[in-house]
């Protein structure tokens, strides 16, 4: 049955669309070697921090890959976000999580928190593209994964949440913290897919930084070159 299924639905590389061998999963061996890894977490580079310099105080910050237009990383993230290929998030989360688990600095992480989608977008897409990515990192670091504490709502809903911490991220959305006690005096690792201008991360951090004793670090799938 498996052979028949593979005949009609062959497994292909999510980055280059070439046929995968039996021992390959999601990304072919060639692309794995060709992917532009940053190694920021190994060499203590502050490249990600520089994007947010003067706006967000980060303890640690890393990205797995460099992102360039029409590159294979763009193809991966496109397939993850718009084609429902959630397995990409699992693979990238395991990849980065296993690397972070070997870095002493990341031993201080207490909890992994994903950048949330607005509920309307979540319903339309059916999933948050960073869920599996974040869960695999949390598993590798042996820490909690909390995807309910940080939420994204419309400005018109802010009165409903007036007793909770909130901060506008853009003109059409607001981030709120649902359970402040869960994050008090914790070192959180915020996870997202790609960092470009840093506006979304800044908005999330602005609301999180008002929590007593919190420390914030960041890990993304990619950073725009």
Give the integer Cα–Cα distance in Å for 21 and 43.
Answer: 33
Is residue 160 packed enough to be buried (19+ CB in 10 Å), middle (13-18) or exposed (0-12)? Answer: exposed
What pLDDT, on a 0 to 100 scale, did the predictor assign at position 194?
96
Predicted confidence (pLDDT) at residue 6 exceeds the cutoff of 90: no
What pLDDT, on a 0 to 100 scale, did the predictor assign at position 155?
57
* Across 194-202, average pLDDT: 92
Confidence of residue 12 (pLDDT cuts 50, 70, 90): very high
Predicted confidence (pLDDT) at residue 88 exceeds the cutoff of 80: yes
Enumerate residues 6+ apart whose C-beta is below 8 A from 29.
21
What pLDDT, on a 0 to 100 scale, did the predictor assign at position 158?
46
36-224 belongs to CATH 3.30.365.10:
no
Average pLDDT, whole number, for the chain? Answer: 88
Q: How is the chain split into domains, by residue range?
A: 1-34, 36-224
Calculate what percentage of the chain has a pLDDT beyond 70: 87
Predicted confidence (pLDDT) at residue 60 exceeds the cutoff of 90: yes
What pLDDT, on a 0 to 100 scale, did the predictor assign at position 178?
87
- Per residue in 128-187, pLDDT (tens digit) is 999 999 999 999 999 999 999 999 886 545 444 454 554 444 445 588 898 899 999 999
Q: What is the pTM of this model?
A: 0.89
What pLDDT, on a 0 to 100 scale, did the predictor assign at position 1?
45
Give the integer Cα–Cα distance in Å for 42 and 52.
Answer: 20
Calculate what percentage of the chain has a pLDDT beyond 90: 68
Enumerate residues 6+ apart whose C-beta is below 8 A from 194.
67, 77, 220, 221, 222, 223, 224
What pLDDT, on a 0 to 100 scale, did the predictor assign at position 119?
84
């Amino acid at each position: 049955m498996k052979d028949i299924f593979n005949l009609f639905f062959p497994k292909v590389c999510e980055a280059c669309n070439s046929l995968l061998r039996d021992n390959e999963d999601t990304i072919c061996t060639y692309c794995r070697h060709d992917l532009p890894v940053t190694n920021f977490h190994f060499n203590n580079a502050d490249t990600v921090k520089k994007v947010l310099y003067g706006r967000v105080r980060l303890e640690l910050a890393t990205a797995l890959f460099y992102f360039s237009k029409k590159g294979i990383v763009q193809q991966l993230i496109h397939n993850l976000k718009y084609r429902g290929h959630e397995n990409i998030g699992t693979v990238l989360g395991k990849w980065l999580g296993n690397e972070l688990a070997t870095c002493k600095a990341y031993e201080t992480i207490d909890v992994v928190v994903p950048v949330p989608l607005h509920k309307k977008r979540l319903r339309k897409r059916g999933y948050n593209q960073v869920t599996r990515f974040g869960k695999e990192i949390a598993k590798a670091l042996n820490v909690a994964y909390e995807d309910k504490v940080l939420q994204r709502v419309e400005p018109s809903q802010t009165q409903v949440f007036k007793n909770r911490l909130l901060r506008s991220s853009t003109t059409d959305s607001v981030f709120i913290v649902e359970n402040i006690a869960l994050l008090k005096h914790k070192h959180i690792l915020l996870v997202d897919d790609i960092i470009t201008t840093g506006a979304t991360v800044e908005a999330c951090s602005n609301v999180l930084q008002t929590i007593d004793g919190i420390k914030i670090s960041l890990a993304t799938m990619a950073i725009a070159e």
